């Protein structure tokens, strides 16, 4: 990052945001014009190279996006379903090849056949359904199971505005230090994948002296197979917004920023309406209800970059810089957005605060396990008989989730990737050994992450899966550190060459490459991608060994 650029971007504040202006400039043609890039560079004192470098990074601003009219989902869940080739072939009857782009992922992992058209997401699996969409006659509404195996917290029915926000009103009458104490007592850990204790992050920001602080909701859930954040944003937006306000109250932050993925356009609209309702009822602004607490929201619409799920890359993105990962320390709670103290939490983590503040930290801590408290949303893809989102207590046996809640598989499945592209590949033989919590997955050599489940069917070659992971990681790398920038690309080239020729990959070379990625990458993007590949090499050695030499 550039501290000077952070300061320059901050001079305009959130109301006049460079990243937002770049997005607006890209709307007409799919990419900002050179004239627009020069104009914004002068206006924000950034330099022309900086504005071009930023715009050229994102899927929906880069020059290659010019003229795109429709986007097909190419996420892992859709890939494994085998349905997307037929969708693309049908769309080519209506569009030129260079008018068709890709998105990863649209959060329709429960049904696949997903594509984005005219600002909305659809699932259509045959010519008739696709034609209906293109003629503006198709529906973009989707349905999936939403159930809890025990206590409902995140999926609990919305009780109405007044009842819901009575929790906030009561909290504002108390000492904010006491509210923070309850959050720490709950032992809630980040649900975005890292599992860092939320209370410690909030406390660090609270203890950092600054007149300006930010709470950022990381709604850039890009893990294929995961659509729980989409569910919360679209179906329970006030849970997320209340959580951000509570976080702001305990840290003395006055600004809440929701960074929502471009792939979730419907979520943006729903959240905008929820914020408007808060404003109408005087819950936003200065000295809310005479408490001395000031708070307001800003929505930032992302532009297509998986790496922005990493908190420091996300911060750079909002500032209008290239979304490269920052070195730490300093941590965002000390020096984050515009160099000010910033807390970044994901959607699900923030949504849990309503229950914690209403019922107390102990009530939440009693759920789950000693080290992994509370509940977790689990996303099941289209290979399950009962695809959808399930809220389970931490520590629930994976077998219960797969066989009882999910109803088992529709067709033979050999493995599941749990936790997104950086999550472990769990063979079906290991289902009986795992419980859904951070410790169980780590002890067995996997990663729970976001708890999204993508099934790998028997018919899908594991060498293709390795190739897909490396290609994805290479394409989405921010390029900041060379182990990730070069290692993912070279790994993809090795696997692709072995697939398409008589070339055999040297095992020692491949092992060294994975270890370098794991040990030398700046963030979990490069550091995490070796895990699923190593899982495949261990549990499916017989299937992939023909592509490797001595």
- Specify the pLDDT at position 218: 97
- Specify the pLDDT at position 195: 85
Nearest Cα to Cα of residue 476 among 418, 422, 424, 532: 422
CA distance readout (Å), 125 to 46, 94, 143, 160, 466: 45, 15, 15, 37, 26
Token couple for 208: 């950092």
In whole angstroms, give the CA distance from residue 144 to residue 235: 12
How would you label 303-331 residue by residue, b for 16+ Cβ within 10 Å and e otherwise? bbbbbbbbbbbbbbbbbbbbbbbbeeeeb
SS3 assignment for 350-396? HHCHHHHHHHCHHHHHCCECCCCECEEEEEECCCECCCEEEEEECCE
In whole angstroms, give the CA distance from residue 429 to residue 426: 8
pTM for this prediction:
0.96
* Alpha helices (runs of H) in 149-191, residue ranges in sequence order: 161-172, 176-186
Going from the first residue of the chain to its last (550 residues), give the mean pLDDT of each consecutive group of 10, the final group possibly shorter: 80 89 94 96 92 95 95 93 92 95 92 93 88 88 93 96 98 98 97 89 97 97 89 97 98 98 94 98 97 97 94 95 93 96 97 98 96 96 97 98 98 96 96 96 93 96 97 95 96 98 96 97 95 98 94
- Specify the pLDDT at position 138: 82
Angle (deg, nearest 10), helices 3-12 and 34-44: 90
3-class secondary-structure state, position 495:
helix
- Specify the pLDDT at position 156: 97
In whole angstroms, give the CA distance from residue 548 to residue 550: 7
Beta-sheet strands, E only, within 13-148: 70-73, 100-103, 114-117, 120-123, 145-148
């Amino acid at each position: 990052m550039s501290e000077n650029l952070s300061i320059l971007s901050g001079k305009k504040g959130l109301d006049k945001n460079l990243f937002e202006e770049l997005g607006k400039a890209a709307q007409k043609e799919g990419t900002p014009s050179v004239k627009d890039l020069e104009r914004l560079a002068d206006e924000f004192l950034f330099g022309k190279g900086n504005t071009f470098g930023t715009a050229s990074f994102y899927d929906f601003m880069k020059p290659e996006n010019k003229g795109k009219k429709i986007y097909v989902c190419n996420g892992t869940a859709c890939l494994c379903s085998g349905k997307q080739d037929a969708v693309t072939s049908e769309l080519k009857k209506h569009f030129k090849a260079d008018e068709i782009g890709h998105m990863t992922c649209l959060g329709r992992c429960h049904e696949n056949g997903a594509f984005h058209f005219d600002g909305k997401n659809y699932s259509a699996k045959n010519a008739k359904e696709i034609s209906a969409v293109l003629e503006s006659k198709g529906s973009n509404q989707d349905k999936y199971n939403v159930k809890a195996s025990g206590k409902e917290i995140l999926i609990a029915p919305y009780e109405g505005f007044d009842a819901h926000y009575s929790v906030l009103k009561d909290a504002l009458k108390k000492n904010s230090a006491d509210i923070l104490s309850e959050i720490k007592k709950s032992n809630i850990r980040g649900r975005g994948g890292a599992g860092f204790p939320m209370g410690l992050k909030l406390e660090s920001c609270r203890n950092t002296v600054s007149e300006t602080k930010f709470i950022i909701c990381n709604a850039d859930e890009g893990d294929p197979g995961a659509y729980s954040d989409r569910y919360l944003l679209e179906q329970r937006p006030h849970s997320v917004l209340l959580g951000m306000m509570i976080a702001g109250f305990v840290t003395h932050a006055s600004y809440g920023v929701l960074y929502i993925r471009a792939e979730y356009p419907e979520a943006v609209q729903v959240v905008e309406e929820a914020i408007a309702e808060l404003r109408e009822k005087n819950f936003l602004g200065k000295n809310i209800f005479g408490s001395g607490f000031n708070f307001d929201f800003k929505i930032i619409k992302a532009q297509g970059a998986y790496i922005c799920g990493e908190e420091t890359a996300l911060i750079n993105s909002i500032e209008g810089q290239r979304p490269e990962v920052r070195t730490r320390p300093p941590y965002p709670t000390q020096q984050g957005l515009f160099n000010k103290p910033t807390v970044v939490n994901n959607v699900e983590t923030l949504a849990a605060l309503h229950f914690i503040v209403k019922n107390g930290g102990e009530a939440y801590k009693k759920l789950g396990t000693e080290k992994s408290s509370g509940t977790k949303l689990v996303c099941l893809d289209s290979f399950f008989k009962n695809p959808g989102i399930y809220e389970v207590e931490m520590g629930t046996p994976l077998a219960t989730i797969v066989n009882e809640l999910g109803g088992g598989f529709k067709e033979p499945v050999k493995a599941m990737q749990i936790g997104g592209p950086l999550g472990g590949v769990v063979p079906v033989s290991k289902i009986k050994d795992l419980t859904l919590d951070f410790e169980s997955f780590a002890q067995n050599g996997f990663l729970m992450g976001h708890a999204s489940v993508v099934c790998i069917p028997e018919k899908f070659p594991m060498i293709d899966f390795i190739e897909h992971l490396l290609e994805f990681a290479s394409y989405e790398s921010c390029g900041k550190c060379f182990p990730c920038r070069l290692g993912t690309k070279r790994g993809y080239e090795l696997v692709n060459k072995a697939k398409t020729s008589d070339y055999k990959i040297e095992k020692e070379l491949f092992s060294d490459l994975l270890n370098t990625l794991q040990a030398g990458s700046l963030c979990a993007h490069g550091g995490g991608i070796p895990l699923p590949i190593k899982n495949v090499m261990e549990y499916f050695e017989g299937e992939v060994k023909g592509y490797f030499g001595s």
